Structure 1
Amino acid sequence: MAAPPEVTTKNLTGKYIMNKTLSDDSDDILKLQGVSWFKRRAISMFTLTLVVKHYGDEAGIEHIDIQQTLSGGISGTDENRILDWEERSESDDVFGAVIGQSKRVKPEEVEDEFLKSGWTEDAVEDGLVLAVARSDTAKSGMDWRAELTWGFEVLNGERRYARHVKFTSSDKSDGPIFKHLYYDYVGPS
């Protein structure tokens, strides 16, 4: 389902379901992140739902808290972003020890053409969410980095919440992996 015009990068609050038909397969990224074959298989079989709460705190700093669940009510990884560009460490059941940071950016501030292109006018005007996650190599033994931009695209005539992913890993020497992830808007959370 298309996202309504009042749902923007300034207010992502709502419920979304990953559209596996429109999204690129991300198994190669999960494998390079050290996710086991069993977990990757489970992820590919289930449907991912995001329940997003987007708000500002007392200091005016944006927060985007995302509860992820897989079909059948299986809890996924919570993704809590504070858009202040501060590095934060966490231990994740799927990805292990990770360091992340997030902020709001104008597309022209993003270096990579793939990450900054294809967005709706409102996403360009309001700014994209730039989220970076990287392995905490000292703790995990892995060496990877994922850069994501979040916004809205028009795809097949419908306005959709989208993420562009640029993934690099020391285990992949032939350049980065680029993926599009698309979500159906289900309604308010």
Structure 2
Amino acid sequence: MAAPATTTTKDLSGTWVMNKTLSDSVDEILSLQGVGWILRKTITSATVTLTAKHITNAEGVEEINIDQTLTGGIKGTTENRVLDWTPREHTDYIFGTVSSKSRRIPLADKASDAFFSTGWTEDVSADGVINTEAVNTAAGWTAEQVWGFSSEKGGERRHTRKVRITKGDKTLEKVLVYDWISQ
């Protein structure tokens, strides 16, 4: 389902479900990140639901806290994104120990990168995008994401994450699309 116009990168609060028809497959990404075959098949077979709370904390900094759930209530990962570009370490059963940082940036900051800068809705140009970077030094990969809203896939405005992951000399670029469920 299309996201309401009132839901923007300034407030991503709500429940989102990955649209597998419009999203690129995540199997190749998970494989590059060193996720084992059984867990990859479980994740790629399941419906992934994100429950997001977008707040401003006591210090006046934006936070986006996301709990992922797989079909049947299986706990996925938790994303706690503080938009201050400060690296924070997190360990979970899927990705291991990862150092990640997040921020809001103007879309123009990605203008020289065709993958990250194209296909966004007008409100993204006005409000900016969410930019994240995660590094797993043990597994040897780096993932950059840019989040916003796009209507490129499916023709309706949907929450979209563009992901570029690099490990050694291999780089993948994938687009993940999420349907709006509720506030």
TM-score, reference length from structure 1: 0.93
Q: What do residues 98-149 of structure 1 show as CA deviations (whole Å, max 9, x unaligned)? A: 01000001112124220121110001110000011110x2xx3x11111000
Distance in 2 (CA, whole Å) between partners of 1:104 and 1:92 is 25
Report matched runs for 1:2-13 at 5 Å. Answer: 2-13=2-13
Map of 1:179 onto structure 2:
174
Q: Which amino acid aligns with 2:177?
A: Y
Q: What do residues 7-46 of structure 1 show as CA deviations (whole Å, max 9, x unaligned)? A: 0000000000000011001211111111000100100110
| Aligned partner of residue 72 in structure 2, secondary structure | coil
Distance in 2 (CA, whole Å) between partners of 1:158 and 1:90 is 34
Q: Which amino acid aligns with 1:116?
A: S
Structure 2 spans left out of the alignment, 5+ residues: none
Q: What do residues 75-117 of structure 1 show as CA deviations (whole Å, max 9, x unaligned)? A: 1100110000000111121001101000001112124220121
Q: Which amino acid aligns with 1:167?
A: I
Identity of aligned residues (%): 46
Map of 2:128 onto structure 1:
127
Structure 1 spans left out of the alignment, 5+ residues: none
| Aligned partner of residue 123 in structure 1, secondary structure | helix
Q: CA deviation at 1:157?
A: 2.6
Map of 2:162 onto structure 1:
164
Distance in 2 (CA, whole Å) between partners of 1:71 and 1:80 is 21
Q: Which amino acid aligns with 2:141?
A: W
Give the conservation status (yes or no) of the 8 Å contact 1:148–1:166.
yes
Residue 32 (structure 2) pairs with residue 28 (structure 1): no
Q: CA deviation at 1:49?
A: 0.1
Map of 1:57 onto structure 2:
57
Runs of 4+ in 1 over 2 A off after TM superposition: none
Map of 1:101 onto structure 2:
101
Q: Which amino acid aligns with 1:129?
A: I
Residue 98 (structure 2) pairs with residue 83 (structure 1): no
TM-score, reference length from structure 2: 0.96
- CA RMSD, aligned part only? 1.0
Distance in 2 (CA, whole Å) between partners of 1:28 and 1:3 is 27
| Aligned partner of residue 81 in structure 2, secondary structure | strand
Give the conservation status (yes or no) of the 8 Å contact 1:102–1:132.
yes
